[in-house]
Amino acid sequence: MSSILLLALASATAAAAGPADIRQAPAEHCMDTRQVDSVYQPNDTQLLVASGSRHFQLTLSSACPGLTQADGLSLRAPQGFVCGSGQETVVAGNQRCPVVAVTEIDSRSYALGARQSQHHSNRQSGTLDTVEVTAKAGVDREQRFARGFVGTSDYCFDPAQMRSWTETPEGLQVMVNPRRNQGNVTYAVELQGSCPMLSSSPSVFFRSGMGLGQICGNAGDRVVAVRDAFSGEPGPAWNNIGAQPMASAGAGMTTVATGQCQIAAVYPVHS
């Protein structure tokens, strides 16, 4: 079951405010509940929340398991701001959980925690890690309902929507179609160890280790470097999967895989 839900705003003051109103947060670290897009629960005492282009970690006063799986999840906060004062409360089912700390985190930490929340909820329910398909995948930055898989745009991308890629010291940056990825344009793809074959390969493709059609940094997710070669030409000595004919490139040419590297993490990059 996907752990992503939209928070229901319970502050009457915030709900009455119009979209054009200017709201001043009590402190820089405070989170505006009116801009909440998604929430995950990586463990029993924390929630991860995306609010506009910012990401937050909410620490609860005690263990509150299964919040994102309960009906009627809401966040009650004076003036609609969560600052960790102990006066803000997460309500879900029969649970009322005070928020005692709020910390702003980067998109990488948010994505890793979001992926962890899937495994956490699956351990509680005793099922394997899955992806739930639905018509509503949350609200993107332009307040339009996005298409695709619920929640996966927070820590996954669809390789079929890849427009271009560039090599980075940590791995790759992938440009995708934002309409198919909840408004995200660029994803960082971190690799496990070095991947020298990328520097000599004009093309890459991705393989999902779980057969989801999404690349999330799950076990078995990998990037495969490919290049054109004359038919029968062997791959380089450091090729760790062998020169495998992939497709005909015409006139005695074939596309061969020159190497593959395991993917450790995927997360959006915001400018």
By DSSP bridging, strand 171-176 and strand 186-191 are antiparallel
On average, the pLDDT of the chain sits at 75
Q: What is the Cα–Cα distance from 112 to 156, expressed in whole angstroms?
A: 10
Residue 119: predicted pLDDT: 66
117, 40 in Cβ contact below 8 A?
yes
On the question of pLDDT at 125 being above 80, the answer is: no
pLDDT digits (tens, 9 = 90+) for 132-188: 333 333 334 343 333 333 446 888 998 888 999 999 988 999 999 888 888 889 999
pLDDT at position 225, please?
A: 87
Contact 13, 33 (CB under 8 A): no
User: Percentage of the chain surpassing pLDDT 70?
Assistant: 69
In this predicted model, what pLDDT tens digit does every residue of 199-211 receive, in sequence order?
877 788 899 988 8
Question: Any long-range contacts for 126-135 (C-beta under 8 Å, 24+ apart)?
Answer: 127/1, 129/210, 129/218, 130/1, 131/2, 131/212, 131/214, 132/1, 132/2, 134/2
